[in-house]
Amino acid sequence: MAFTSFAGRSYNIVSDEVKQTDSFDEIPIIDLTHPQAQVVESLRDACTRVGFFYIFNHGIPQNIIDQVFSTAQEFFALDDKLKQQVHFKNGAALCGYEGFQNVYTDERKKPDLNEAFSWRYAPDMDFLNEDTATTMPVDADKANNFLTSGQNLWPDAKPEMRCDIIQYYSHVLKLARKLIRLFALVLELPETYFDEMMRHPPPKGLDPPFGIGAHTDIECFTILCQGSDVPALQVLNPKGEWILAPPIQGTFVVNIGDMLARWSNDTFRSTIHRVLNITGRERCSMPVFIGPSYNTVIKPLETCLTEGAKYDPIPAGLYVWKRLAISRLDKAEYERQRVKMESQLAIPIRV
């Protein structure tokens, strides 16, 4: 079987079966309290060879993790009519509630068999970033613009959900900003190279998956908390074999997304993965997708051009919108909105 990612890379899948093994050395575990030089070398191997790794001693309190998962479970248990009030099609940001079979992660196959709730960055969700004004309002004329909107849909039936997500999300953003500095060092850039571009990162989300098709992630990298002991995440190794990535207590799973693979000119590996319900038990997970401000232009880095640039520059916002919209909108609506989105790119951009 063959799989072609959105980025155009083709992969051979030798079997649909999951490789059973007692060793998961293919997915490294990195302790963030180790000396920086050791962490950077471990990340260099993980990001270029595997594209997935676990992080340990990440610094996010367990009580904050437990609280947001508890609130998430209560939200997904609400009556469907209440959840539909915050459906992603009710806003401009492509964020909010996603019901069963609403999204095609793998465009070649049937819709995903999962529910999800997603949000995107807003300044008042970033209280751990001392450099961000937490009271910055969203301009009224920008509220319906995907590139500039901080619009989020929050359920009236579960008002505490917003507070619990903000508490968790702020801690994850702090962790993400630590990781992006380490990635900069791996890519032989100044440690603070990405800092300004990561001040206002995009989404998101809560996800209780029964099944999500084979895919690579959109943003630079994903910080995933597997909120239970239920195994479901599977990673495609270089041999075309599916490797189970089980929950490990006290860790997050981090994986490289297509945007950072593109930015690094494929120095970093964006790896295919999927989520399957192999136990029959419900599972809730929380992936937070980390990327730069939408006005950043993604252009192959100068330190990664030994074989020449493989990709043309593209604004981050347009790249993300296309990936989200193509899996959520029908073809006619996608094309109609694409013209509008491309016209909105007459905004200041950073190269």
For the chain, 351 residues long, the average pLDDT of each consecutive 10-residue run is 53 53 63 98 95 96 94 91 88 78 57 78 73 41 52 89 93 94 98 89 55 84 88 88 91 96 96 85 87 90 94 90 78 80 57 42
Phi, psi of 178, deg, nearest 5:
-70, -45
The CATH number of the domain holding residue 285 is 2.60.120.330
CA–CA gap between residue 349 and residue 351 (Å, rounded): 7
Q: With respect to residue 350, please indicate whether it lies within any of the assigned structural domains.
A: no
Among candidate residues 46, 50, 301, 39, the one with its CA nearest the CA of residue 189:
301
CA–CA gap between residue 89 and residue 94 (Å, rounded): 7
Q: What is the pLDDT of residue 348?
A: 44
Q: Write 183-192 long-range contacts (CB < 8 A, 24+).
A: 183/43, 183/47, 183/221, 183/260, 183/268, 185/36, 185/40, 186/40, 186/43, 186/44, 186/47, 187/264, 187/267, 187/268, 187/301, 187/303, 187/304, 188/303, 189/301, 189/303
Q: With respect to residue 349, please indicate whether it lies within any of the assigned structural domains.
A: no
Q: With respect to residue 308, please indicate whether it lies within any of the assigned structural domains.
A: yes
Q: What is the pLDDT of residue 131?
A: 54
Adjacent-strand bridge partners of 2: 12
Q: With respect to residue 237, please indicate whether it lies within any of the assigned structural domains.
A: yes
Q: Which token pair is 92?
A: 């401009």
Q: What is the pLDDT of residue 22?
A: 35
Q: With respect to residue 160, please indicate whether it lies within any of the assigned structural domains.
A: yes
Task: List the domain range (segments joined by +) for residue 185.
Answer: 2-343
Q: With respect to residue 248, please indicate whether it lies within any of the assigned structural domains.
A: yes
Instruction: Give the HSE-up count for residue 5: Cα atoms under 13 Å, Cβ half-sphere.
Output: 22
Helix ranges (DSSP H) in the chain: 36-45, 62-76, 80-84, 160-186, 258-263, 316-326, 331-343
Q: With respect to residue 348, please indicate whether it lies within any of the assigned structural domains.
A: no
Adjacent-strand bridge partners of 242: 18, 236
Q: What is the pLDDT of residue 137?
A: 39
For 326: left if phi > 0, alpha if psi spans -120 to 50, otherwise beta; the answer is alpha
Sign, CA torsion 134/140/141/145: positive
Q: What is the pLDDT of residue 93?
A: 72
Total structural domains in the chain? 1
Q: With respect to residue 217, please indicate whether it lies within any of the assigned structural domains.
A: yes
Angle at 75 between CA 73 and CA 81, to 5 degrees: 140
Full-model pTM:
0.82
